[in-house]
Structure 1
């Protein structure tokens, strides 16, 4: 559970640093198909376009991240997989002359992972968690469509897709005895 809180603390610390006059860390987000924008794959989840953006992501990030940490013990693997793969896909596909920032790619990845994990494992707790996620966060599914200017629908889409991918990968590792045990 500690890594979830540490990530949120780092997000908030970064946003506070961004208040310093002349500091603009948001420029270091994902800049598609630019070599200088590739490190943004790692930085983007910590960067937000202001406190409104950060607040909008923090609640869902905490809830979904803690659900993964507590019910599956796979938080680090899911976070690294979604951030790297989803970020790389965004870097490859998103429009030029844009900068993609925010933790919402992880939020979408976490939600998709939890739903897919429930379907794949069919364990009671995982199915209950998946159902709660669908009921609480199902409306975010529209965020994968290019309907709102200035919102990284690519980050949302690839976050969700890599969340599902991570569920398949980690489920396969569990079946082969390499992934630890799922909490019941």
Structure 2
């Protein structure tokens, strides 16, 4: 009786054609994608609940996943939820440091960065730069504004998402500058982030008035806080109530539009 042979002298098994990775054609593999059946090598495999997925199916699945939305319509951040807030604080502090260095060589940066109605149309960059410059004679001006920005950044950026929060901030800053141009004395220079800060005040007010129901319990506190700050701007000299008013109105309006668009998207069955 003949004995079975092994090794090179034994009978060859018919294993069929050798599979190769669909993305690396020089790499043989015995593994296929659980979803589409394409062969994938070890480098291209992504472990799934059952089997593995190929790169194409992974991209398709990620594209189909809906972004997690907050009650205010923002996209939930996967990393630092206050990235924009800290960036804005860093810019304001950096501008202040630059102004301080220029002051050491007898250059008063306030005259180049501040906004006065008389120069607003000839030097329009001041509409933006004035929102990042602060009083060199009063460091508390910067500290108070940045502390308030930090507080409102914690309240708003996570709920709105980075893009909407940034739009709200810059729109409020521009609104504050417009208030200065329209209402301030022609030759009075104005600096500070207060217009944008008051825009965040207005945004919180709009959320309490027209936002999700859980925010309405804070309405009285918000109104009192805004009232105190508005009156403070009128009775204390050297404070631009014009910029505060412009920022407050703009921030309230922008937030109202964001809430309206959010509600309409929800009614239409979208997640925007």
- Higher RCO structure (Cα 8 Å, ≥6 apart): 1
In structure 1, C-alpha distance between the alignment counterparts of 2:217 and 2:150, rounded to whole Å: 18
Work out whether residues 116 and 130 of structure 1, in 8 Å CA contact, stay in contact via their aligned partners in 2.
Answer: no
Aligned to 2:151: 63
- Gaps of at least 5 residues in structure 2 are 1-81
Q: Where in structure 1 do 4 or more consecutive aligned residues deviate above 4 Å?
A: 128-138, 178-181
* Gap change, CA 1:70 and 1:134, over 3 Å in 2: farther
More divergent stretch after superposition (31-40 vs 7-16): 31-40
In structure 2, C-alpha distance between the alignment counterparts of 1:108 and 1:11, rounded to whole Å: 16
Q: What is the RMSD of the two structures over their aligned residues, measured on CA atoms? A: 2.4
Q: CA deviation at 1:59?
A: 0.8
Whichever structure has more helix as a proportion of its residues is 1
How far does the alpha carbon of each residue in 1:52-81 deviate from its partner, in whole angstroms, 9 at most, with x for none?
210121111110122110233231121121
**1:127 partnered with 2:216:** yes
In structure 1, C-alpha distance between the alignment counterparts of 2:223 and 2:202, rounded to whole Å: 9
Q: How many residues align?
A: 179
- Gaps of at least 5 residues in structure 1 are none
Task: Tell me which structure has the larger Cα radius of gyration.
Answer: 2
**1:26 partnered with 2:110:** yes
| TM-score (ref. length: structure 1) | 0.84
The residue correspondences of 1:1-184 to structure 2 (distance < 5 A) are 1-20=82-101, 21=104, 22-27=106-111, 28-34=113-119, 35-50=121-136, 51-73=139-161, 74-124=164-214, 126-128=215-217, 130=219, 133-134=222-223, 139-145=228-234, 147-177=235-265
In structure 1, C-alpha distance between the alignment counterparts of 2:250 and 2:198, rounded to whole Å: 9
